[in-house]
Structure 1
């Protein structure tokens, strides 16, 4: 159908419009982008996964919205470019108060190969940016939206989604160094039944932490890592685990300590990209969220302009606890055929703990893939990344 099209308009054509695709158009778009994005799955299995993910608590009943750019003057409507947006609960600290807002995460931006080079992605994102300001927000305007760019920092920045620092530290699933575990605290595994209460506590800690920052001149924002958000990631993991290994992983994270207010915990998710179930290359266990209760829950303060590895290992008394968590994660990575485990925008405790497991581990500042980008919808004079702190910019916010 696409190859037969002639005289396609360019991206500035006034008859182009943003619409919600029909079920048939949406399926055709998934078939097109699945060729590039299906990872370890067959195309048909990828389509089933997307259907499952669209019916989670996070996404059902309008939690996910599909967008498409079409030419309203065309004799036969054809999707020129498409994407999705995910409704997300968020907090903003500014002007002495903390306010809750609806934010949106944009994902699956895809222009079929035959449609590229005509400015359709740029036009669609301009229209999506405008639409999301009031989409599903009731009587208020959404303050910001986010996306994670896999095409570098330039394209989306020109459209308003400015890049924030996007760093990570990685540890191989198998390392030669054995830590003396008797010097570390005990880490217990976390299961699905444990997560809802911990997410509730985490949200309360974030609200409290932002409250203490609200009088500062710099605005701070945070996507809320609630249970629906975490379970969406785990639904993705469970689906692929069942396809590749005939079962879903049961251990979803780990925790150190039992006294409320002094615990340290993290959640993770496994992402398979290698379609050989017995191979680990390219597969990654991602730390979704690290919580240190004594630090107000914030595992990473600010947008990461400072390299957290520039301090002394004595500056973080939580390093041993995080190292204990990473040992559990490392064992899970080995068990589920992961090549490495990775933590986004690590704080000093995470960096030092990772280097305990692997002395060669370094903080990597990404400049091409998974670039955390934020569009601030209110007027501003300075670059957004200089005037706003994105608190907890970890993997849980990815979509």
Structure 2
């Protein structure tokens, strides 16, 4: 049956959100291949999509796959009108009085409408149904405080549907280049065995900072835990294995002594095969941590040197793996100043059409940026 001949209206009571069978799963990801297949072939992308449901962050029902369809039709004969994924995130918040809570948010990712079914309101219906479900999805009452997404179609579409764009969508970009003197003392490369403790140290610092400092706004931060890092790393490892027959060993770089360290965790992303000389393949810095935020002037000069070494390590890693750029999301004023003082050529870019951080708030108030401060809006939180 050609379902396009009998398409229901987007407001039809016969439409609902559900989860796919294995055959419907393959159909959903086959449709999304042209948008998100990157450098992989279709069979490789389908294999990757199935694999990524089994890795940290996604497994144990951390990831849910949804699609809008007609509930009157039998399984495996239902049309895929629109689909998406959601991920459950551990999230820290503090209110205006400084009370700290650990709650959850749900990320919305990979919203996709079959091109044959577009401009009929199906994406709007899917998002409306999702907004009803997510506040209580896998959560006790009041435990889920919001939903985030990163829009690749500008800020307006999702804003009209309740996911309000945040102004923090800028990034620092550096060109990849080989750096000859990385054998200098002080730089240590991070391997997977190091990540668990670094993430725990990071989380402890975040808890202290959010508990001690005060703000006139409510604050929210997706926890940069090991599961988030490993989701990105399993994705990069799968792609690199298919493209190069090997996987990156280094997951980032660290310099300095305990309590005075700076470290970055990165991931390799291939939008096109490197043999095609693509422009967009990127080493993304998932998370950057500066331990000594209260350094004095003399210590700050030392931190600038540390930052220079860390960024040069990232540039070298990008060049080593045939990537074109290093990108760092949401640099605060301290980080921007430190990068400027390193003397490394770079660009500051505002993302206006893609990866626009957006928030739907389930608590009191509007959830817009005048009420909620979104901390750590870095690449690790993107899925």
State the TM-score, normalizing by the size of structure 1.
0.88
Match in the other structure for 1:52 = 51
Counterpart of 1:345 in structure 2 is 330
CA distance in 2, matches of 1:334, 1:174: 5
Is residue 2:377 matched to residue 1:393? Answer: yes
| Structure 2 equivalent of residue 171 of structure 1 | 174
Whether the 8 Å contact between 2:305 and 2:342 is mirrored in structure 1 is no
TM-score (norm 2): 0.91
Partner of 1:283: 281
Number of positions where the alignment pairs a residue of Structure 1 with one of Structure 2: 376
Matches of residues 232-271 of structure 1 in structure 2 within 5 Å? 232-258=231-257, 260-271=258-269
The secondary structure found in structure 1 opposite 2:144 is: coil
Instruction: Encode CA deviations 1:227-273: one digit per residue, 9 max, x unaligned.
Output: 11101100001011111111000011000112x21111110001011
Which residue is equivalent to 1:188?
Answer: 188
List aligned pairs for 1:74-113, cutoff 5 A: 77-94=78-95, 95-113=97-115
Q: Which whole-Å CA distance do the structure 1 matches of 2:5 and 2:142 have between them?
A: 42
Structure 1 contact 90–224 (Cα < 8 Å) conserved: yes
**1:311 alignment counterpart:** none
* RMSD of aligned alpha carbons: 2.4
Inter-partner Cα distance in structure 2 for 1:240 and 1:128 = 30
> Do the aligned residues in 1 keep the contact of 2:279 with 2:324 (CA within 8 Å)?
yes
Gaps of 5+ in 1: 297-313
Counterpart position of 1:197 = 197
User: Equivalents in 1 of 2:15, 2:79: separation in Å?
Assistant: 11
Deviation at 1:364, TM superposition (A): 1.1
* Structure 1, 36-45 or 66-75: larger mean CA deviation: 66-75
Sort the Cα spacing of 1:181 and 1:21 in 2 relative to 1 into closer, same or farther, 3 A: closer
Question: Hey, what's the Cα distance between the residues in 2 that align with 1:78 and 1:385?
Answer: 38
Contact preservation (8 Å) 1:185, 1:321: no
Partner in structure 2 of residue 218 of structure 1:
217
Structure 2 residue runs of 5 or longer lacking an equivalent are none
Deviation at residue 378 of structure 1 after TM alignment: 1.7
> Cα deviations across residues 105-128 of structure 1 (Å, max 9, x unaligned)?
111100000010000001101111
Q: 1:14-93 maps to which residues of 2 (within 5 A)?
A: 14-73=13-72, 77-93=78-94
| Contact 1:271–1:284 (8 Å) recurs in 2 | yes
